[in-house]
Amino acid sequence: MKLDKKSIELTLKFIICVFIGIEVSLSPNPYTTHLIIALIIYICLKHDLPNKVEKTLLNWLFTWKK
């Protein structure tokens, strides 16, 4: 089964919604770190940051000699 970007985004949205619901219902906030990590992953995926970082690093590492 091939996972595409949309299905991963939808799964992350669902996970983020679940963590927000748990954060609201439980008082000592046990899942704050999990929520922050899920949001960071979602933001990186939404703005295509891994590919942008890879392009920048490859450009910086291999074209500085010219």
What pLDDT sits at residue 3?
76
State pTM to two decimals.
0.76
**Distance from C-alpha of 33 to C-alpha of 30, rounded to nearest angstrom:** 8
What pLDDT sits at residue 1?
60
What pLDDT sits at residue 30?
87
What pLDDT sits at residue 2?
67
**Distance from C-alpha of 26 to C-alpha of 37, rounded to nearest angstrom:** 19
pLDDT less than 50: residues of the chain: none
Cα dist. 63→17, 43, 49, 53 in Å?
43, 29, 21, 15
